[in-house]
Amino acid sequence: MEDDNNDEGKVREITIPGELIGSEKTFKGGYGTYTENGKVFSKFVGILRKKNDYVSVIPLSGVYIPQINDDVIGIVIDVQKFGWTVDINSPWEGFLSLSEGVDEYVDLKKVRMTKYFDLGDIIYTQVLSSRGSDVQLSMESPISRKLRGGTIVKITPNKVPRLIGKKGSMVNMIKDKTGTNIRIGQNGLVWVSGDDISKAVKAIKMVEEKSHVYGLTEEVAEFLG
């Protein structure tokens, strides 16, 4: 099976909406595609991805595509018998199994699943595996945890590196100047808690809106005072 990392160094093929990208005789249409008369077309301006028997299109902006080992912020939207369904700001939901979410023996006859994670809980978790719509999550990472209080800010996922900054320079500046604690998910969800949450949120949105602007660090520093 081809590893996605093998794409590094190669020129990525860009598609446009309505472009013919394959035939159902060769590929099954995946995310970002539609089929007509046995032919597969692109829905988006995005990166063409062919893997195994599937062809898909990853949009260049606006949508988070889960990748293994991504640290993401999610919101629990369903409590099941053996795990939790989690909204990860993606076309697909994530699933956190009991074995990946809790590091102790759980007697389900005596303990409610909500003891650990309940509806509406915000968690900082990690993508364990991602196979199409089957996205498995894990709390095994040392930085994974339930996030209490605070507020969630949504930004375009591809702006996350700019918000983090070189060696964390941008996010650390925002945290220091506003007295806040900030967790950034690679899925574009940002959790903020602490003192001046309002000002931190405004700074985060400024970074998202002006990520292409030179001198952004100085502009944000001036805004933060």
| 96/92 Cα distance (integer angstroms) | 13
Band (pLDDT 50/70/90 cuts) for residue 11 is very low
Domain extents in the chain: 4-59, 71-147, 151-224
Given CATH 3.30.1370.10, say whether it is the number of domain 151-224: yes
Q: With H, G, I as helix, E, B as strand and everything else as coil, classify residue 202.
A: helix
Q: Which residues contact 138 (CB under 8 A, 6 or more apart)?
A: 96, 100, 101, 125, 126, 127, 128, 144
| Nearest of 186, 81, 71 to residue 127 by alpha carbon | 71
CA distance 77 to 211: 31
Task: Say how far apart CA 191 and CA 123 lie, in whole Å.
Answer: 10
Residues with Cβ within 8 Å of residue 87, at least 6 apart in sequence: 74, 75, 76, 77, 93, 94
Q: Kindly indicate the confidence band of residue 203, based on its pLDDT and cuts at 50, 70 and 90.
A: very high
Fold classified for 71-147? OB fold (Dihydrolipoamide Acetyltransferase, E2P) (2.40.50)
Number of Cβ atoms within 10 Å of the Cβ of 29: 20
pTM: 0.73
List phi, psi (to 5°) of 137.
-110, 165
- Confidence band for 224, pLDDT divided at 50, 70 and 90: very high
88-106 tens-digit pLDDT: 999 889 999 999 999 999 8
Sign of torsion over alpha carbons 83, 77, 33, 19: negative
- Judged by DSSP in three states, 164 sits in helix
CA quadruple 132, 29, 6, 1: dihedral, nearest 10: 70
Domain pair 4-59 / 151-224, same fold: no
CATH of domain 4-59: 2.40.50.100
The string of pLDDT tens digits covering residues 136-185 is 999 999 999 999 999 999 999 989 999 999 999 999 999 999 999 999 99
